[in-house]
């Protein structure tokens, strides 16, 4: 049995220790915010925080992280209140959204280590790939997140998404956009 902590909860996986962390998170823990992209550690869609390091979870086995602390996108902030999440939304960063959880995790690790990153720091540290080409806005968003985290700037965060009861879901539109 492999044991470590995921999103502040101790877990024990009855899986082969050679199982990639990505599949333990997605299949055994149902933490599907961590995405499968390339499977070879190049794209970064599967990035999670392992003991303060941005890790491509498709390349790290659960046996290799025994005793570690893992944070996934679900554990970062459920209500979108983390400075990186606020900045990504404020800068309208999300297009298709597939790469975004991995980028948010990489950015959050960067800002934990470096409260005042330069554009070059961001480009060097966040090597995740995006088919939509959001890179210029990514740099802006990470700089904004750093500013929010330091308390230099405030941005009103959007409300957290909610799940409507079944009956209410039939009478309320699925998407409400307010400008």
Clarify whether residues 19 and 72 are in a common domain: yes
User: With pLDDT > 90 as the criterion, what percentage of the chain qualifies?
Assistant: 75
Clarify whether residues 50 and 90 are in a common domain: no
DSSP H or E run through 112 = helix 100-113
Average pLDDT over the chain, rounded to an integer:
89
CATH of the domain at 38: 3.10.20.30
* Strand duo 53-56 + 9-13: pairing: unpaired
Whether the pLDDT of residue 8 is over 70: the answer is yes
* Axis-axis angle for helices 100-113, 83-90 (nearest 10): 130
- Could you tell me if residue 17 is inside a domain? yes
Domain encompassing residue 102: 83-150
* Strand duo 69-71 + 2-6: pairing: parallel
CA dist., res. 127 & res. 125, Å (int): 6
CATH of the domain at 139: 1.10.150.120
CA dist., res. 87 & res. 129, Å (int): 19
Report how many domains make up the chain.
2
- Could you tell me if residue 88 is inside a domain? yes
pLDDT, tens digit (0-9, with 9 covering 90-100), for 51-63: 999 999 999 999 9
pLDDT, tens digit (0-9, with 9 covering 90-100), for 144-174: 999 999 999 988 765 555 544 445 444 433 3
Q: How confident is the model at residue 87 (pLDDT cuts 50, 70, 90)?
A: very high
Helix (H, G, I), strand (E, B) or coil at 60: coil
pLDDT, tens digit (0-9, with 9 covering 90-100), for 92-141: 888 888 999 999 999 999 999 999 999 999 999 999 999 888 888 999 99
Would you state the pLDDT for residue 66?
Answer: 97
Clarify whether residues 72 and 88 are in a common domain: no
Q: State the residue for tokens 């939509």.
A: 132
CA dihedral 59, 61, 66, 67 (to 10 degrees): 30
CA dist., res. 107 & res. 90, Å (int): 15
């Amino acid at each position: 049995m492999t044991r470590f902590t995921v999103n502040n909860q101790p877990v024990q996986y009855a899986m082969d220790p050679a199982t990639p962390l990505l599949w333990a998170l997605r299949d055994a823990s149902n933490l599907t915010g961590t995405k499968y992209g390339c499977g070879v550690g190049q794209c970064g869609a599967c990035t999670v925080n392992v003991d303060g390091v941005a890790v491509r979870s498709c390349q790290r086995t659960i046996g290799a992280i025994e005793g570690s602390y893992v944070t996934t996108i679900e554990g970062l902030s459920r209500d979108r209140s983390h400075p990186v999440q606020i900045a990504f939304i404020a800068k309208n960063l999300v297009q298709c959204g597939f790469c975004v959880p991995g980028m948010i995790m990489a950015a959050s690790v960067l800002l934990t280590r470096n409260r005042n990153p330069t554009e070059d720091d961001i480009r060097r540290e966040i090597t995740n790939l995006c088919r939509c080409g959001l890179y210029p806005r990514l740099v802006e968003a990470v700089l904004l997140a750093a500013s929010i985290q330091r308390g230099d700037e405030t941005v009103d965060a959007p409300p957290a998404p909610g799940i409507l009861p079944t009956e209410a879901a039939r009478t309320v539109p699925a998407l409400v956009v307010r400008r």
